Every structure is written in C-alpha cells, then in structure tokens.
Structure 1
Amino acid sequence: MPKMQLERLLRSQGFGSRPECRALVRSGRVSIDGMLCDDPFAEFEPDGLLFSVDGVLWTYREFAFLALNKPAGFECSHKPKHHPSIYSLFPRVLLTRNIQAVGRLDEDTTGLLLLSDDGQFIHAYTSPKKRIPKVYDVTVKHPVDTLQVDALLEGVQLHDEPARIAATGCEVRSEHLLRMTVTEGKYHLVKRMIAAAGNRVEGLNRIAIGGFPLPDSLPIGQWIWLEASDLARLARPQQ
C-alpha cells in the first residue's frame, strides 16, 4: 500500500473531514508510534501503523471488521423505533466509517453480531447463496422431545415458504435448551421453525457464525476487532 498523508489517513479511519483531521493534527492531538506529529501532510506507510488521538491508541485498518456481543433490548438499526440502537455501543469514529450490521438480530435476541464497513464482506455473509451456518442456543417454553428434534432436522413447513426448511444441526442441551444450526437467513427463522415443530422460543442467543464462536471473554454489550485469523475461522464451517 502506498504512503498516505496523515490527514487523509485519519479521515479514512473515521476521525472527520480532511479539514477536521488537519486541525486535529495541527493542534498537537495526534502521535505516530508514540511521537507527536503536527504536520498533517507528513506521509506514512499505513499498514499496521500505530497512532494515537487524544491519547487513545489505534491501529490503521483499511476495513473495519467487528464482533459485538449484542445485549437484549437493542435494535439493529440506525433509526430505532422502540429501543436503543446497537450503534450507540460504538465510538463515533466507527460510526463515521459507516459500519453496518451484517444481517440483523431481533431486539430480544442476544449474542454474536458482525459489523463492517466493507460492502463485499457484508454481501458475502448475508447472501442466501452462501448458506453460512449460524449456531443458536435456543431456550424453549415446553420440554423438548425427540419428535420436535426430528422435525427440525427433517424440515418444517413455514407459512409463505414453498419448501420445508431444515436445521443442519439440532442438539438437546437440557430439557428446555436446544443448540440449533441453520444456514438460511429468513425473517424470524429460528422462532418460526421452533413454532412449526410444536414449541415456543423463550430466549435466543447466537453463539457462532461459520467457524467463529462468540468469544467467552467478550462481555455482553462489548465489541472487538476481528483479526485475520478470526476472518479465516469465519470462512470455515464450525468444527
């Protein structure tokens, strides 16, 4: 990647317009690799560059790839209607970069949610043709029986769907808890499938996408950057 002027580099990372980034540098608020830089036109190799703004350390990233442990009571919308937006959980610089949720989770659904500003990445993980496996822990109202599990694995008929839809995995974890894998991305899919099998969803938590599990160390409501190794795991089926 060619060198970039500092003001352009900061703009690409969400720190404002070029004039705003220029003023940021000239006011002495930006350091590069620990050294103050007040020249907005100084050029740097962006790959892996460490810089700080107002004492907060950042690494240059051409694209933002993020994982959020979504809490209940948040909408996956920039214009929420009834609850706070998931975007309120992120710093302004990421919102300026126009990060978008990769698909959506319902307001009452928790767990792993991906976000990015890379349109190709978003398309790849939302395209129905890709059939990316998504794993959910599903708390149900009534005790699970083998007939329900068999129905989910063989395929259930949903309203307005021409063909039956089957889970690619369904494991009974306890009397009221299923671990279910689906590869479709249809509206309220897991809830509708469980209802069609004769039960009702009381709680829904997404724990994995592809081969990438929700990290145990990621608290509810917090987010992390996805690194190259995480993106590689996303592209692989869960082991």
Structure 2
Amino acid sequence: MLLLALDTATPAVTVALHDGESVIAESSQVDARRHGELLLPAVDRVLAEAGRKLDAVTGIVVGVGPGPYTGLRVGIVTAATFASVLEVPVHSLCTLDGIAFAAGQAGLEGEFVVATDARRKEVYWARYADARTRVTEPAVDRPAELAERVEGLTAVGAGAALYPDSFTDVRADLPQHQSAGALAALAVEKLRTGGEFLPPQPLYLRRPDAQVPANYKVVTPQ
C-alpha cells in the first residue's frame, strides 16, 4: 500500500505519503491564496523525500471540505486527475475529520468541536464524541450563533482560535490546520476496518464567493 494524501480545504496546502504503517514523507505550507501554485510542487517534494515514483501510488486520499470554493476544488480536481491517470481509487474524507483525528493522535480525548475559518465571519464546524466519531454533520455558521451549542467543549482548529468569545476552551497546542499525514492515517484505518468514505465531491455548504454578473456590458456594435 502506498497512499498519496492531499488537502487544500484550509489555508494549509498539505501532502503526505503513507505506506500503510506510517507516514513516510509530508509537506505542509500555510498560504490561503496559493493552493494551485503550491500543491504540485509539494507532491513532487514528498515523492522525492520518500524516494518513490508517482506510479507506485496505489490510492489517493483527499479532503473534500468543507472549505472555500477556490482552494477546495484545487485539491479535489488534482486528486481525481491523479486517480484517473494512475487508475487507482480515490478515498474521500471530511477535512474536519482529519483535523479531529490529528487531535486524537496528539492526545485529545472525550468530546470536542473542530472549527475552521470559513471567512465572511463564519466557521465550518462539527462536533465529535471522540477523535474517530463525528456526531453532527459539517455545517457553516456564525460563531456567536454557536456559543451555547459548543459551551464547555474543547475546541480545535484555526476557526475556533479566531473567535475565543464563542469557543471558550480553545486548545492552541493542538492542530490548527489539516495534516495530510493524519488524513492518510485515518484512511488507512478505515480501509482496514471497512469504514465508509465520502463521495469524491466538494462539501461547499454555501454558494461560492465568485458570482457570474447578472448583466453583461455590451461592447460590440448593435
């Protein structure tokens, strides 16, 4: 087994290789505006560090969000392209689940909430019974509207850190962004236990920021 994992649903452009036992190479760069520019060089860097060729990959793992439209589609399209060229399966996972799993790897136990920055003064979030068990569907909300629902819960993620008035028990020592290494490890666990994966479709949860103009300006002669 050799899984290539990637995620661009958060400001982190993160890529990892997992051989079924452990992460053998990983790269993460936090830059919310350069997903398309950074992703493929990160793949090349990880493969070179591991001393592997792309054609040795047996599966692609990708985080499908929720996340902002532009960044999220970079990772999903890249994953689909690799899978098609290599003729290997795509294993899609919720990005929030990857962050939750990483928090568990760092020692977090019990109930908690994961929140990432959704911009527009909102967060993408979900609640977890433990690092492997999500108990709510991913959602996008304003932090102030969540205060009562997350009261008393440990909070993980950059989105939670942005709004300490709403997420009052933020663990800054735990992962803030996605880790492709943790995402790959979660996928390996699911593959071995027969766990379910998501469809390889983006979890946008809201309309994209970019809109087609309602009225086009006529620039040709009538």
Q: TM-score range by the shorter chain?
A: 0.3 to 0.5
Q: Which has the higher contact order (CA 8 A, sep 6+)?
A: 2
TM-score by length of 2: 0.33
Higher helix share: 2
**Greater radius of gyration (CA):** 1
